[in-house]
């Protein structure tokens, strides 16, 4: 297996560094990095940043957004939180605080400091779910469209290695209602691919 090339001590050391990180001193609730990583994982969830509820619980996607995401993927909590199957690396690992229209953007220094190093520890990933605008900006760069909707609509351009997605937050109920093709065309393919990989 590919991951044999990665030393367990290297993984442990890097994860310890990430979990001890407190570079962002001005965070509303302080630093509390939250992620899930194992080099055997075949699916990567690249989200935005932990929300307030996630910060308090210390568990990624243990909220209504996570319930919807698991439904989209066709899996239960046991599979979702099996780090040997699924890695969860948001664009920032700590809750950024709240602004006028929801949570603040993920602080860019988090991805700058950690993202490339952590992704190198995931050689077996075959499907990356890229959730929300900030993750799309980082993972797709110039390959994304003008808007999130246009990028998601052209999902087949990146399939099956990567799937651009809207955030599963209840705040996006309107988007989902206005774009029924996502549930009709995209989600059945996502469920099929997740089942094949796991």
Gap between the Cα atoms of 196 and 127, Å rounded: 11
List the domain range (segments joined by +) for residue 12.
Answer: 2-197
Output the furthest CA–CA distance in the chain (Å, rounded): 48
pLDDT in tens, the chain (198 residues): 444 566 777 788 999 999 999 888 788 898 999 999 999 999 999 999 998 889 999 999 999 999 999 999 999 999 999 999 999 999 999 999 888 878 888 989 999 999 999 999 999 999 999 999 999 999 999 999 999 999 999 999 999 999 999 999 999 999 999 999 999 999 999 999 999 999
pTM here? Answer: 0.92
What is the CATH classification number for the domain harbouring 130? 3.40.470.10
How many domains would you assign to the chain? 1
């Amino acid at each position: 297996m590919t991951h044999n090339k990665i030393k367990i001590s290297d993984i442990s050391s890097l994860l310890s560094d990430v979990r001890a990180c407190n570079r962002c001193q001005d965070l509303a609730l302080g630093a509390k990095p939250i992620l899930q990583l194992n080099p055997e994982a075949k699916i990567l969830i690249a989200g935005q940043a932990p929300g307030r509820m996630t910060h308090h619980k210390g568990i990624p996607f243990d909220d209504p957004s996570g319930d919807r995401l698991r439904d989209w993927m066709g899996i239960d909590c046991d599979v979702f939180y099996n780090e040997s199957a699924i890695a969860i690396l948001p664009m920032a690992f700590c809750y950024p605080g709240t602004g006028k229209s929801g949570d603040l953007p993920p602080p860019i220094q988090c991805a700058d400091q950690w993202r490339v190093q952590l992704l190198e520890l995931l050689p077996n990933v075959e499907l990356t779910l890229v959730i929300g605008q900030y993750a799309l900006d980082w993972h797709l760069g110039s390959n994304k469209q003008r808007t999130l909707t246009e990028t998601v609509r052209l999902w087949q351009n990146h399939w099956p290695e990567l799937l651009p997605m809207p955030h599963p937050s209840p705040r996006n109920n309107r988007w989902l209602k206005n774009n029924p093709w996502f549930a009709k065309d995209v989600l059945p393919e996502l469920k099929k691919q997740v089942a094949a990989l796991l």
